[in-house]
Structure 1
């Protein structure tokens, strides 16, 4: 074989090696960036979970100390538990949060409450206060349990 042909094959081989090396480096950087993004998303997700758990514990403490209406606290805890530990909805004593949520779900809140008929709001408030009275002991017990729960 002629030396020129051999050197030609060597040149083509080197070009292929360089091209494939550049492709590998590009893919490796892409994978590293994707892994970094995934870790960042996981960190954000974990932080949101920790924030929700802290919120649950603060709301529970506020209900124990009667700084927030128990119906409102139950609704807020139930919604947060949906994201943090939905399996607790069916476990005693935590199920009272879902019971109160379900019992007050039909009641208007925020803007809908402001625009609703005042007589209807008074009637619903009486219903809500009665629910709070009937379930107060269970709500306080569940609030103490969730405050101390290890998520």
Structure 2
């Protein structure tokens, strides 16, 4: 082999080694990012699970209005675990959410005429009478079983 061939072979080998080292560096960064994302997702899930426990407990202790509690639980369940949210025990939260979805909130609620607010409040009372037992049963189920089971990956 000539000196030129050996020099080219050495340069090529060095280039391959440099590229391999760079690829390894990039893969390590990807693995670190995946690990950080997994940790953030786990933290998010733990936070949502804790929030769901607080809301379900507050609903059972009647520290939270039934309609508001059901809406908040439904929204958090959708973000926590869609399979758990769609479980038959949690259907009452979806029902109450759907029944109240057209009702204005915040500033729009304050802007409503008094008669319109009273009509909505009357509807809230009807829904509470109709669904209170099922919502309390669902909240109890969430605390005792639903949030205890391993979470399905969404």
TM-score normalised by the chain length of structure 2: 0.88
- Aligned residue among 25, 29, 34 for 1:29: 25
Indicate the residue corresponding to 1:48 in structure 2: 44
What runs of 5+ residues in structure 1 fail to find an aligned partner?
Answer: none
How many angstroms apart in 2 are the aligned matches of 1:50 and 1:68? Answer: 22
Shifted more, 62-71 versus 102-111: the winner is 102-111
Indicate the residue corresponding to 1:66 in structure 2: 62
Query: Within 5 Å, which residues of 2 pair with 1:1-150?
Result: 6-148=2-144, 149=146, 150=148
Q: CA deviation at 1:90?
A: 4.1
How many angstroms apart in 1 are the aligned matches of 2:15 and 2:88? Answer: 64
Q: CA deviation at 1:136?
A: 1.0
Q: CA deviation at 1:115?
A: 2.4
Contact persistence 1:88–1:95 (CA under 8 A): no
Give 1 or 2 for the bigger CA radius of gyration. Answer: 1
TM-score normalised by the chain length of structure 1: 0.90
Shifted more, 132-141 versus 86-95: the winner is 86-95
What runs of 5+ residues in structure 2 fail to find an aligned partner?
Answer: 150-154
How many angstroms apart in 1 are the aligned matches of 2:120 and 2:139? Answer: 24
